[in-house]
Amino acid sequence: MPTYSLTVNKRKMEVDVAEDTPLLWVLRDHLDLVGTKFGCGIAQCGACTVHLDGNPIRSCSVPVSAIGDKKVITIEGLSKDGKHPVQIAWEEIDVPQCGYCQAGQMMSAAALLKKKPNPTDADIDAAMGGNLCRCASYLRIRKAIHTAAKIQNS
Amino acid sequence: MNNKLNRRNFLKISALTGGGLVIGLPALNSCTNPKEAREAATSWTDVNAFLKIANNGEVTIKSPNPEIGQGVKTSMPMVVAEELDIPWEMVTVVQAPLDLENYKNQWAGGSQSIKRSWNVLRMAGATARFALISAAANMWSVPVSELVTEDGKVLHKASNQSAHYGELLEAAASVEAPEEVKLKDPKDFKLIGTDVKNVEMANILTGKPLFGLDYKVDGMLYARVIHPPAFGATLASVDDAAAKAMSGIAHVVKFGEKVAVVGKSSWEVIKAANALKVTWNNPPKPESTEGHVAEMRRLLGKKGEVRRKDGNPERAFRQADKVIEASYEAPFLPHNTLEPMNFFAHVTENSAKLVGPTQTPERAMRTAMSITGLKEDQVTVEMTRMGGGFGRRLYADFVTDAVEISHQLKLPIKVIYTREDDMTAGTYRPAFQYKFRAALDKDGQLTAYHQRGVSVNGGHVTRDLNIPSGAVGNVLLDSHVIKSEITTGAWRSPTHNFLGFAEQSFIDEVAHAAGKDPLQFRLDMLENAKNNPVGEVKYDPERCIGVLKLAAEKAAYGKAPAGVFQGVALYFSHSTYVAQVAELVMEEDKPKIKRIVTAVDCGIVVNPTGAINQVQGSILDGIGHTFFGALSFKGGKPEQNNFNQYRLIRIPEVPNVEVHFVKNTLDPTGLGEPALNPAPAAVGNALFAATGERWRVTPLGADKKPGVVELEGRVG
């Protein structure tokens, strides 16, 4: 079994797993970072969204062998203290119902806000269309992204 | 509502328990509200089954019911805290495990949690408060009547004495807590009716382990179960050589018609299960959607089992000036909880520990008992937070998987389903159809109403207490049931989730045929039900009228600007009244939903922010499934198995949803489901207003030219 050296949430970590193991399962089963969720396994629901060198990716569909020295940030590393603007906004708007998809939603939203500090509704549609919320908390997700933009820019 | 409490539930406060707070799974089950600086708790006293108090005055409230996203882990403890008069900041909420001795109705279904436990929760807080006040009265030698509670303290204002609850525990130990005490007047509520955010917020936002899929223990193995690909198929043989040779694979286990691969990690068992070579015996009668639809249509032409009959409907139809007739059709739906089915079991010779996402922990326990032969007191069940329920986790098939495997191997086992496993081994919303007839007299009055239902494995799908029954002199409801190998079950607001669309669309058809405004037509019917009720009437016509008028007022019904088309619908279920006005516009001949204005009467709203979230979510759930949802079958096999083939509503398609609650002080009723039911009809009726076409088959447009109706996005 090959050994992979990964940089996750700014820490070096090593795992011995098969090369086709998706990053998602490395995070969840081998690194005990279970905040990243499994929903579909085919990059259709966004529950497994993490940042790879700052870009949002679906970790269920990226094998560990493709990570190399790129930096992985998961929900556990989105902020040191749980106070990233999207986390503050998510709390302020009371977004979650079941909460299962929200880590993926927040990772997509954080990546959007980095690229577009003042996203329009159309920007949100484009950036967040890949993240399913089965509870359909979408109205609050949209509102929270606008709120997070204000927090980030203030 | 029964106010009587089982005395066993309310133990006399006995003695201070030493040591700290004991909770089974701190990481999974605890959640702490921000606390003001105060000395750390060093001892806790169990006051009753629902709460314990620390020597520093903090309170832990045990939330009995499963949390599936409906918000009961926040709202149920709020009710206890209200009567205890403890500030929310001093409350920590924990999930109670299955405890048949101390809790009743420890399940999540039918939007019943708050409704059934309302008085029990209140009494739990109020009796504890009574004991603390009595203790203070004894301590200070003052009458109870001179004491008040405020901010977690008992106060005697005349003598300027006060003590926080923790300081009264020892004195309270000698107080007999009565079964019933006076409850607050709802007008004095301080916490109920205020916005309290999800108690699990911090843990959700930082990715803490909360859900069943997150649960692990040392030595645990993962298992993926392969089930028959077609409903009705059986297991013939398994060649597991290739799977067993793969890395990380420890066992291959057979039980029933299933085969499980057991190994060290999720990915290894997912892969190895694909390498199993399983031979199946094909189902003797492979079922298909084509066959189901044809059989349902055939049965709609035949008399079914009579479910309600008022007056003489046959004669009324013969004498009618005009008869309106229409049929409505719905497909199977998978639940698609975003967290796929999973469950943990550790069976030993004399115990079974079950942990996971279940809406029915008692059923999980009984399932384990029947498989293992263990006794009730040898089985424990802990509920994790659930990544959605929608009815799917009322069933125990995934519990059976985990228990069967662990029973054979005597190892801690975590069963995980892939999305494909989950979508193709469901307990689906059954497929069903309705045929309606309405008789109008020459003045456009509704004189007779006939509803015939038929389902595939869905039981009788007429609802004899639904509107317009009770408002019409002559009513006939009859139905058929088709048996099937396809497993079906409760799907958010069972039967109502499509009956709401069918009935409230048909009522709209009748109103138009009678030349009346659809809102006024409904209000007139409800006046009939109020003034001249026919047969049994369970809905309160006044409350129906109340929500209709509120929705109409908030949506400025009838005053929409040119180009904006409105549709109205009303539904009563789960003891809750919901009316909606949908507005849409046509852009390039395609409808876009502008907004849904909703009025809800569910009595007292415990937690408005959570309640609005439920109402908005259920409406969007209903609309999404009405436009997109369908699971079809061929050769007994589901034809869709993941989200690349099965469409769910996404953020670009979501219209605004405005929520208005009727303000009253009636006991609260259900809210996890009822707002779903009228939404599809409100939209369908607005579509009729816009297009002149009637939409009777879901997913919408399935019976029309492709592209005729597309839900493409919001307006504004």
Q: Do A99 and B69 touch (CB under 8 A)?
A: yes
- Asked if the bond preceding B87 is cis, omega within 30° of 0, the reply is no
* Per-residue pLDDT tens digits for B241-258: 999 999 999 999 999 999
What is the spatial distance between Cα A25 and Cα B222, in angstroms, rounded to a whole number? 12
CA atoms within 13 A on the CB side of B294: 5
Chain region(s) in chain B for CATH 3.30.365.10? 7-205, 212-283+341-416, 300-332+428-691
Residue B31 confidence (pLDDT) above 90: no
Residues 7-66 of A with CB under 8 A from B: 17-18, 20-22, 25, 28-30, 32-42, 44-45, 47
Residue-wise burial string across B568-579, b where 16 or more C-beta atoms lie within 10 A, e elsewhere: bbbbbbbbbbbb
Residue B629 confidence (pLDDT) above 60: yes
* Per-residue pLDDT tens digits for B431-461: 999 999 999 999 999 999 999 999 999 999 9
What is the spatial distance between Cα B433 and Cα B289, in angstroms, rounded to a whole number? 13
Looking at chain B, the whole-number percentage of residues with pLDDT higher than 90 is 90
DSSP tag of B128: H
Collect all residues with Cβ–Cβ distance below 8 Å to B6 and sequence separation of at least 6.
Answer: none
Of 3.40.50.300, 3.30.365.10, 3.40.50.1110, 3.40.50.10310, which CATH number belongs to B300-332+428-691? 3.30.365.10
Looking at chain A, the whole-number percentage of residues with pLDDT higher than 70 is 100
Question: Which of the residue ranges B4-13, B332-341, B537-546, B680-689 would you say has the lowest mean pLDDT?
Answer: B4-13
- The shortest CB-CB distance from B339 to any of A29, A33, A100 is to A100
SS3 for B134?
A: helix
Q: Give the pLDDT score at B706.
A: 59
- The H or E element that residue B124 is part of is helix B113-140
Residue B20 confidence (pLDDT) above 60: no
Is A96 an 8 Å CB contact of chain B? yes
From chain A, the residues in CB contact with B269 under 8 A are none
Both structure tokens of B103: 């809790």
Q: Kindly identify which residue of chain B lies nearest to residue A122, measuring between CA atoms.
A: B652
Residue B15 confidence (pLDDT) above 90: no
Radius of gyration, alpha carbons of chain B: 28
- The shortest CB-CB distance from B613 to any of A87, A94, A121 is to A94
Residue B83 confidence (pLDDT) above 70: yes
What is the spatial distance between Cα B398 and Cα B415, in angstroms, rounded to a whole number? 7
Phi, psi for A138 (deg, rounded to 5): -60, -40
- Please give the full DSSP string across B246-289, using - where no structure is assigned: STTEEEEEEETTEEEEEESSHHHHHHHHHT-EEEEEPPSS---H
Q: Give the pLDDT score at B23.
A: 28
Model confidence at B30, pLDDT cuts 50, 70, 90, reads very low
Model confidence at A121, pLDDT cuts 50, 70, 90, reads very high
Q: With CA atoms as reference, report the closest residue to B225 among B189, B262, B191, B200.
A: B262
Looking at chain B, the whole-number percentage of residues with pLDDT higher than 70 is 93
Question: Which of the residue ranges B110-114, B129-133, B333-337, B529-533 would you say has the lowest mean pLDDT?
Answer: B110-114
Contact A73, A51 (CB under 8 A): yes
Q: Give the pLDDT score at B17.
A: 39
Q: What is the CATH number of domain B7-205?
A: 3.30.365.10
Q: Give the pLDDT score at B26.
A: 31
User: Can you say how many angstroms the Cα of residue B526 is from the centroid of all Cα atoms in its chain?
Assistant: 28
Q: Do B247 and A29 touch (CB under 8 A)?
A: no
From chain B, the residues in CB contact with A39 under 8 A are 338-340, 419
Residues B296-322, mean pLDDT to the nearest whole number: 98
Residues B114-131, mean pLDDT to the nearest whole number: 96
Q: Give the pLDDT score at B13.
A: 43
Residue B129 confidence (pLDDT) above 80: yes
Residue B35 confidence (pLDDT) above 90: no
* Per-residue pLDDT tens digits for B149-207: 999 999 999 999 999 999 999 999 888 878 889 999 999 999 999 999 999 999 999 99
What is the spatial distance between Cα B107 and Cα B126, in angstroms, rounded to a whole number? 24
Q: Do A87 and B205 touch (CB under 8 A)?
A: yes
Query: Which of the residues B32, B68, B88, B204 would you substitute to probe the A interface, choosing the one with the greatest number of A C-beta atoms within 10 Å?
Result: B204
Q: With CA atoms as reference, report the closest residue to B548 among B524, B528, B573, B519.
A: B519
Q: Kindly identify which residue of chain B lies nearest to residue A132, measuring between CA atoms.
A: B650
What class is the B212-283+341-416 domain?
alpha beta
- The shortest CB-CB distance from A42 to any of B247, B642, B652 is to B642
Model confidence at B589, pLDDT cuts 50, 70, 90, reads confident
- The shortest CB-CB distance from A135 to any of B266, B388, B654 is to B388
Q: Do A135 and B617 touch (CB under 8 A)?
A: yes
Which residues partner with A7 through β-bridges? A12, A71
- The shortest CB-CB distance from B648 to any of A36, A38, A134 is to A134
Q: Do A102 and B197 touch (CB under 8 A)?
A: no
* Per-residue pLDDT tens digits for B490-514: 999 999 999 999 999 999 999 999 9
The one-letter amino acid at B381: V
Q: Show the domains of chain A with their CATH numbers.
A: 3-77 (3.10.20.30), 85-153 (1.10.150.120)
First to last CA, chain A: 49
Q: Give the pLDDT score at B10.
A: 34
- The shortest CB-CB distance from B204 to any of A25, A42, A99 is to A99
How close is the nearest chain B Cα to the Cα of A128, in Å?
7
At what angle are helices A102-115 and A85-93 packed, to 10 degrees?
130
From chain A, the residues in CB contact with B389 under 8 A are 98
Q: With CA atoms as reference, report the closest residue to B50 among B58, B39, B62.
A: B62
Q: Give the pLDDT score at B705.
A: 63
Is A120 an 8 Å CB contact of chain B? no
Which residues partner with B437 through β-bridges? B325, B450
From chain B, the residues in CB contact with A128 under 8 A are 651
* Per-residue pLDDT tens digits for B357-405: 999 999 999 999 999 999 999 999 999 999 999 999 999 999 999 999 9
Residue A113 confidence (pLDDT) above 60: yes
Sole residue written with tokens 């409100």: B682
What is the spatial distance between Cα B341 and Cα B336, in angstroms, rounded to a whole number? 9
Q: Give the pLDDT score at B97.
A: 97
Both structure tokens of B321: 């000036």
* Per-residue pLDDT tens digits for B679-700: 999 999 999 999 999 999 999 8
Residue B408 confidence (pLDDT) above 50: yes
Both structure tokens of B125: 């807080």
Q: With CA atoms as reference, report the closest residue to B682 among B516, B500, B446.
A: B500
C-alpha dihedral, B5 to B8 to B12 to B16, nearest 10°: -130
Residue B25 confidence (pLDDT) above 60: no
Q: With CA atoms as reference, report the closest residue to B200 among A90, A76, A138.
A: A90
Mean pLDDT of chain B: 93
- The shortest CB-CB distance from B387 to any of A21, A87, A100 is to A100
SS3 for B315?
A: helix
Residue B709 confidence (pLDDT) above 70: no
Contact A51, A111 (CB under 8 A): yes
Question: Which of the residue ranges A102-116, B26-40, B323-337, B420-434 would you say has the lowest mean pLDDT?
Answer: B26-40
Model confidence at B711, pLDDT cuts 50, 70, 90, reads low
The one-letter amino acid at B104: K
Q: Measure Cα distances from A31 to B12, B28, B152, B291 in Å.
A: 47, 17, 42, 49
Residues B465-477, mean pLDDT to the nearest whole number: 97
Query: Which of the residues A17, A98, A128 would you substitute to probe the B interface, choosing the one with the greatest number of B C-beta atoms within 10 Å?
Result: A98
Q: Give the pLDDT score at B708.
A: 57
Q: Give the pLDDT score at B710.
A: 65
- CB < 8 Å & 24+ apart, contacts of A3-7: A4/A64, A4/A65, A4/A67, A6/A64, A6/A67, A6/A72, A7/A69, A7/A70, A7/A71, A7/A72
Residues B635-657, mean pLDDT to the nearest whole number: 96
Q: Are strands B637-638 and B633-634 parallel, antiparallel or unpaired?
A: antiparallel
* Per-residue pLDDT tens digits for B130-165: 999 999 999 999 999 999 999 999 999 999 999 999
Q: Give the pLDDT score at B715.
A: 55
CA atoms within 13 A on the CB side of B320: 25
Q: Do B387 and A99 touch (CB under 8 A)?
A: yes
Residues B113-132, mean pLDDT to the nearest whole number: 95
Residue B14 confidence (pLDDT) above 90: no
* Three-state helix/strand/coil letters over chain A: CCEEEEEECCEEEEEECCCCCEHHHHHHHHCCCCCCCCCCCCCCCCCCEEEECCEEEEHHHCEHHHCCCCEEECHHHCCCCCCCHHHHHHHHHCCCCCCCCHHHHHHHHHHHHHHCCCCCHHHHHHHHCCCCCCCCCHHHHHHHHHHHHHHHHC
- Please give the full DSSP string across B575-624, using - where no structure is assigned: TEEEEEEEEEEEETTEEEEEEEEEEEE-SS-S-HHHHHHHHHHHHHHHHH
Q: With CA atoms as reference, report the closest residue to B302 among B437, B448, B453.
A: B453
